[in-house]
Amino acid sequence: MPQPRLAPWRERGAAVCAALARPLVGLGLVVGRITSWLVLLVMLAVLTTVTLNALGINEIARWENDILLFGNALTINSMTELQWHLFGILTLLGGTYALHHDTHVRVDLIYQKLSPRGRAIIDILGHLLMLIPFCLLIAWLSKHFVTMSYISNEQSNYGGLTDRYLIKAMLPLGLVFLALGALGQILNNLAGLFDPARLIEPSDKKEPLHG
């Protein structure tokens, strides 16, 4: 006998929340998958630096007109600074990717004994009270930090990369991106509260881990 398992408003609520969550979570996952490859670029940048140093080469190339980020020369210090530029993007955007895979460390002594519903509530409250305020406030307050870098045309004092504002802007961008990811998680959890069948069991959650 088909069970009328849910009130229609709950079903509707769950569907709306899930629909809203999908693009937010999806975006975080897609971006995370793409930026993951940066680890290989970081490795290449470091190896290039090491090789250039071993060969005693300082400047690889010099050209006439300034180009974005690289200015008018590529030196060993451009490579060194490129390392942490790439690393910074990898880390800041990887935070959201890790959020969607539930990789961030939990002290789960109590958490693992809770019902899926209890866990969803903790995550909703945590994201609303802790993560999102942190991300948005720090992102907002770093406005000065980015604009000052842009206005002053801040660049390396080691003959490395120019346009320092680009990587500085990654900080607020990364934090806002994480807040959006957290919003996606909240909506997903809300969908689960409306419709408990949607609460994913940890074993199911593991499925896309290696995907």
Partner 1 sequence: AEGPKRLDVASTFSTQNFLGAGGVRLSEELEKATGGAVSLRVHEPGDLVPAFEVFNSVSSGAVQAGWDWIGYWAGTVPITNLYGALPFGPTPEAFMSWMWSGEGTELLQKAYDPYGVKVLPCFISPQETGGWYNKEINTPEDFDGLSMRISGLGAKVLNRLGASTQLVPGGEIYLALERGRVDATEFSVPQVDAAMGFDEVAEYYYFPGWHQSASWFSLIINQQVWDQYSDERKAQFETACRATLQWAMAEAPPEQVRTIRSLEEKGVKVKRFPDEVISALQDAWVEVRQEEMDNNPAFAEAYKSLMEHVALIDEWYELQALPDPKPVEGDS
Partner 2 sequence: MAEFMAEYALAIAMVVALLAGIFTGYPVAFLLGGLGIAFAFIGDIPIPFLGTVGSRIFGGVVENWLMIAIPLFVFMGLMLERSGVARRLLLTLQRLFGRTPGGLAISVAILGVVMAASTGIIGASVVMLGLLALPVMMKQGYRAEMACGVIAASGTLGILIPPSIMLVLMGSILQVSVGALFKAALFPGLLLGVLYVAYLLITARIKPDWAPLADPDAHDADTTPLALALLRDLLGPVLLITAVLGSIMAGIATPTEAAAIGALGSLLLALVMRSLDFQTLRDAVRETSRTSAMILFVVIGATCFSVVFKRLGGDYMIEEMITGTGLGPYGLLLLIMGLIFVLGFFLEWIEISFVVLPLVAPVVELLDFGFGLSGQALLVWFAILVAINLQTSFLTPPFGYALFYLKGITEGQIGIGTIYRSIIPFVLLQLIGLALCIAFPALVLWLPGLMP
Residue ranges that bind partner 2, judged by CB under 8 A: 32-33, 35-40, 42-43, 46-47, 49-50, 53-54, 80, 83-84, 87-88, 90-92, 94-95, 97-98, 101-112, 114, 119, 122-123, 125-127, 129-131, 133-134, 137-139, 141-142, 144-145, 167-168, 170-172, 202, 206, 209-210
CB 42 → partner 2: shortest distance, Å? Answer: 6
Please identify, among the stretches 31-39, 51-59, 85-93, 132-140, the one whose residues bind partner 1 according to the rule CB under 8 A: 51-59
32 binds, among partner 1, partner 2, none (CB under 5 to 8 A by kind): partner 2
CA-nearest of 32, 38, 42 to 84 is 42
| By CB under 8 A, residue 138 contacts partner 1 | no
First to last CA, the chain: 38
The answer to whether the CB of 122 falls within 8 A of the CB of 111 is yes
Three-state helix/strand/coil letters over 99-152? HHCCCCCCCCCCHHHCCHHHHHHHHHHHHHHHHHHHHHHHHHHCHHHHHHHHHC
Please identify, among the stretches 120-128, 151-159, 175-183, 185-193, the one whose residues bind partner 1 according to the rule CB under 8 A: 151-159
| Helix, coil or strand: residue 92 | helix
| By CB under 8 A, residue 188 contacts partner 1 | no
Site for partner 1 in 157-186 (CB under 8 A): 157-160, 164
**Binding residue (CB under 8 A) for partner 1 from 42, 76, 131, 191:** 76
CA distance 146 to 100: 28
Q: Which is nearer to partner 2, 14 or 175 (CB)?
A: 175
Phi and psi at 209, nearest 5°, equal -55, -40
- Residue 125 half-sphere exposure, CB side, CA atoms within 13 Å? 6
Binding site for partner 1 (CB under 8 A): 52-53, 56-59, 76-77, 80-81, 141, 144-145, 148-149, 151-152, 154-160, 164
